[in-house]
């Protein structure tokens, strides 16, 4: 069972996240400050740290600096601040992703699942890093795509988007969430909806195969966004 450490001084939010993660079959542990979080890390091997920035005594930035001195464990940062510089600072210090409060539970769980899956694929051998749907084969170790055993060239962004969707099957991502996770902070403001539609269209053409062999595909959920739909 995956162990997740939640470092959050808001007791009510901490309890809510614990309950949600338990329902997803994770094993979450909640502590209320960074000092306790660092101590708990010495006792238990965790698969993910969920870390609030605004903590008493020692803030989240200091905590992640300490974490990165001893571990490469994935970190999801939570912040009530909307300033871009704080998000950028967290990412530069080694955070894998961030969420700005208030956030929805569905988005929270999607981020958690995505981070853990990415970490697992990067840490496994090539055979275990392969995702298959019919004759579509995505290899996260070598970052390659094969359709009907033929390798299909992908840009880095195309691969990242396909990996995100395929490792979160049937989960709907809004365009904003895709911009955020794939294009990142620097390109977020300049990337528009028309570009996204065109990008998805080109990617669909690259993965399309005979209908009889089609087991997964990128579906447009009108008014919401996109998902990897599994037949």
List the domain boundaries for the chain.
3-120, 125-230
pTM of model > 0.75? no
Q: Degrees (nearest 5) of the Cα angle 218, 123, 60?
A: 90
C-alpha radius of gyration, the chain, whole number? 19
pLDDT of residue 167: 83
CA angle at 98 for the pair 169 and 163, rounded to the nearest 5°: 30
Residue 52 belongs to what H/E stretch?
Answer: strand 48-52
Task: Report CA-CA distances (Å) from 43 to 18, 36, 38, 39.
Answer: 19, 11, 9, 7
CATH dotted code for 3-120:
3.40.50.2300
Category of 94 on φ-ψ map: left (φ > 0), alpha (ψ -120 to 50) or beta: left
Q: Which of 174, 173, 175, 178 is nearest to 158 (CA)?
A: 178
Residues 230, 148 contacting (CB under 8 angstroms): no
How many Å from the N-terminal Cα to the C-terminal Cα in the chain?
A: 28
Token code pair at residue 51 = 């870390």
Assess contact for 205 and 145: CB atoms under 8 A. no
pLDDT at 212: 46
CA distance 56 to 136: 48
- Which residue do the tokens 């708990």 mark? 40
Q: What is the pLDDT of residue 16?
A: 96
Angle ∠(118,120,121) on CA atoms, nearest 5: 65
- Residue 170 Rama label (left phi>0; alpha psi -120 to 50; beta): left
> Which helix (H) or strand (E) is 140 found in, with range?
none
Q: Rounded to whole angstroms, how far apart are CA atoms 130 and 145? A: 10
The Cα–Cα gap between 151 and 149 comes to: 7
- Looking at domain 125-230, its CATH class is mainly alpha
207 touches 215 (CB < 8 A): no
Torsion of CA 222, 218, 119, 125, to 10 degrees: 170
Residue segments in the chain with a per-residue pLDDT below the cut of 70: 81-84, 120-128, 184-192, 209-216, 231
Quick one: pLDDT at residue 230? 76
């Amino acid at each position: 069972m995956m162990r997740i450490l939640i470092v959050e001084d808001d007791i009510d939010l901490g309890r809510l996240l614990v309950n949600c993660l338990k329902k997803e079959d994770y094993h979450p542990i909640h502590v209320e400050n960074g000092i306790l979080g660092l101590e708990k890390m010495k006792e238990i091997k965790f698969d993910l740290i969920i870390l609030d920035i605004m903590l008493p005594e020692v803030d989240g930035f200091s905590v992640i600096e300490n974490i990165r001195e001893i571990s490469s464990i994935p970190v999801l940062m939570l912040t009530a601040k909307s300033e871009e510089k704080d998000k950028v600072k967290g990412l530069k210090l080694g955070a894998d992703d961030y969420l700005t409060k208030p956030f929805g539970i569905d988005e929270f769980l999607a981020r958690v699942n995505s981070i853990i899956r990415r970490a697992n694929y990067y840490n496994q051998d090539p055979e275990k890093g392969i995702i298959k749907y019919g004759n579509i084969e995505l290899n996260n170790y070598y970052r390659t795509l094969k359709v009907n055993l033929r390798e299909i060239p992908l840009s880095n962004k195309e691969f990242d988007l396909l990996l995100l969707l395929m490792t979160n099957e049937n989960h709907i991502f809004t365009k904003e969430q895709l911009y955020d996770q794939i294009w990142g902070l620097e390109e977020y403001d300049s990337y528009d909806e028309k570009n996204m539609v065109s990008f998805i269209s080109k990617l669909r053409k690259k993965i399309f195969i005979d209908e009889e062999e089609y087991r997964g595909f990128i579906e447009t959920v009108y008014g919401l966004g996109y998902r990897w739909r599994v037949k």
